Structure 1
Amino acid sequence: MARREAPQAYRRIQALMAARLAQQVLQVWRELMNPAKIDASWPAVRAALAPIVQQAREQSAALAQSSYLAARGDAGLPDDGFRPEGPLPLLVDRLEAALDVTGPVEFKRAIAAGKAPQQAMDAAAVRMVGSTQYLALEGGRQAMQRSIAADPQATGWSRVTDADPCAWCAMLASRGPVYKSAQTAGDPRQGGNRYHDHCACQAWPAFTHDEPFIGIAENLYDDWLRETRGRGGKHAVNAFRRWWESEGRAAYAAPARS
């Protein structure tokens, strides 16, 4: 695979894995959850969901590790024995708490807000899908970031997004390659390794100090400079967000920019 195509191909495969997870989560939620007996039916739902999320997390991490080695090879690096890092363990308490909050707690919150039972089921399902995808994709994201940090040959990383990111992700992608030795004080576009529910972004390793921008990042960089000229800190962030939400996002979704 061409080196310039690999980051987006990697992101798409991770997105497909997340989509499969969403289907599994929704199937369990709809088949096992009884909206008339939330507390009684929830333990079985949670017990069915937990291994599904753990397995997806392992698959995401394995893909990140194999892709990292492939990226090293595409960069022309010799096999020096480096092996990619794995993600941190997903603690059971953290997983169960995430499921509880986005499952029965969200359902009850929606009911208290006046929603019908089916509407509450749907609202909880959306939140649960976002949360479980986050935990699963975190496996690959952590494996990639930890490998970049541990690899003496890696110079940094780029944030790879799809063609329709939110304002926050578009802003972070606009930085292009971020180098481990770079001085970034004062740049409001920090937090490049932060993600959110329903986020499609991934990190991709850099092995030189003249890495190309990936996907739409180069155009985003020009947009960032134009929209934030004369501003700094949160004022720059807010200016870019306003532009993205008013016209930027629509422009990138158009056929000419997609």
Structure 2
Amino acid sequence: MIRVALVALTVEGAALTRAHRQAQLTLRADVLRDLVQLWSLIGPGDFERFAVAAEILIRQRHGDSAGLAAAYFERFRTAEGVAGSATARLAEAPDAPAVRAVLRATGLAGMRSAAAAGQSAQAAARTGLVRASGSAVWMVLGGGRRTVTDSVRADRQAAGWQRVTSGSPCAFCAMIASRGPAFKSQRGARFQAHDHCACTAEPFYEGSRPVPGNERLRRAWEAAQRQARESGELSRGTSNDALNAFRRYLAGDQTLRPDTGRTDPTRE
């Protein structure tokens, strides 16, 4: 079950956030299902044709995600009783050639690396689909995320936005969420997401409360880094030392056990 904490000022606002996240998750599932169908119809032997067909789907679904987010932003603002008015800023559709390039890069790379690792042609094709579908989800749901964050930036009353994750996010999303609200005055305050990521954004206004789950993640991050420093794990010299320490900490805490995600589109 997806758990979203009550973070808005009003019960109605919190309900809108839950409904918006569920709508984006439903859209994500639809996209994955459609990609699997395209793959089965076209086949991995004609990846260029698959990329062209998938690009049309992704651009359309990106618009769907943006539309859902625009409606959510305006309804949420009203529910929270924010003064004045603000019009949602719809995210622009991704460039068609860029979409195809991303699909080629991830899908073909996945197939080639799997084949080089000794996987059968069928298994390698499946790996390519998983990689390509991850990028597709990233592009599609980026429409909703960008719409909320751009709308927040244009809203004079908004202070920023908060990341809304599942009740057990992956280590990367948990790390970002642990940092708290992203204030629009911060340079480079953008929504960081990985392939297959299903996190969403909630507008943050004066008086808004930090996401309770994110506050818990902040404490976990601090505890993980403290333990890692004491054990010398942060002195290994790699750029991922801090994240790896956090990942180990989450894996050992049953209340914060990270969700590894189901990146296989055939299981969605």
Distance in 1, matches of 2:205 and 2:138, equals 27
2:8 alignment partner in structure 1: none
Tell whether 2:224 aligns with 1:227: yes
The whole-number CA distance in structure 1 between the counterparts of 2:222 and 2:117 is: 43
> Cα distance 1:223–1:23, how it changes in 2: closer, same or farther (>3 A)?
same
Question: Normalising to structure 1: TM-score of the pair?
Answer: 0.82
Task: Report if the CA contact (8 A) 2:180-2:214 is conserved.
Answer: yes
Instruction: Give the structure 1 partner of residue 247 of structure 2.
Output: 241
Q: How many residues align?
A: 239
Residue ranges of structure 2 left out of the alignment (5+ in a row) = 1-10, 259-268
Q: 1:6 to 1:229 in 2, by over 3 A?
A: farther
Answer whether contact 2:178 2:221 (CA < 8 A) is retained.
yes
Letter of the 2:211 counterpart? I
Q: Does 1:27 align with 2:37?
A: yes
Q: Does the 8 Å contact 1:163/1:216 carry over to 2?
A: yes
The CA distance in 2 between the partners of 1:16 and 1:136, in whole Å, is: 12
Q: Please say which of residues 41-50 and 117-126 is displaced more in the overlay.
A: 41-50
The reply on whether 1:5 has 2:9 as its aligned counterpart is no
Number of the residue aligned with 1:15:
25
CA positional deviation for 1:57? 0.2
1:217 aligns with one of 214, 232, 246:
214
Distance 1:14 1:112, change over 3 A: same
1:83 is paired with a residue of what secondary structure? coil
Q: CA deviation at 1:43?
A: 3.2
Q: Partner letter of residue 208 of structure 2?
A: E
Q: For residues 84 and 181 of structure 1, what CA distance do their matches in structure 2 show?
A: 19
Contact 2:163 2:181 in 1 (8 A): yes
Aligned counterparts, 1:5-154, within 5 A:
5-33=15-43, 35=44, 38=45, 41-78=46-83, 80=85, 82-154=86-158
Q: Determine what percentage of the aligned residue pairs are the same residue.
A: 31
Alpha carbon RMSD of aligned pairs, Å?
Answer: 2.6
In 2, the alpha carbon distance for the partners of 1:104 and 1:221 equals: 38
CA separation of 1:241 and 1:110: change in aligned 2, threshold 3 A? closer
Amino acid in structure 2 at the alignment position of 1:174 = S
Show CA shifts across 1:120-159 (max 9, x none).
1110111111010001011111111111111111111111
Distance 1:156 1:13 in 2: 22
- Residue 158 of structure 1 aligns to a residue whose secondary structure is strand
Shift of 1:242: 2.8
Shift of 1:28: 0.5
C-alpha distance in structure 2 between counterparts of 1:43 and 1:240, whole Å: 40
| 1:226/1:69 CA distance change after superposition, 3 Å | same
Could you tell me how far apart the structure 2 residues matched to 1:136 and 1:113 are? 30
- Are the counterparts in 1 of residues 141 and 198 from structure 2 also a CA contact under 8 Å? no
CA distance 1:116–1:237, change in 2 (3 Å): closer
Whole-Å separation in 1 of the counterparts to 2:190 and 2:143 = 16
How far apart are 1:235 and its partner, in Å? 6.2
From 182, 201, 216, the equivalent of 1:203 is 201
Give secondary structure in 2 for the equivalent of 1:164: coil
**One-letter code aligned to 1:51:** I
3-state SS in 2 of match to 1:194: coil
- The answer to whether the 8 Å contact 2:160/2:184 transfers is yes
Name structure 1 gaps, 5 residues minimum. 185-189
| Aligned 8 A contact 2:171 2:243 in 1 | no
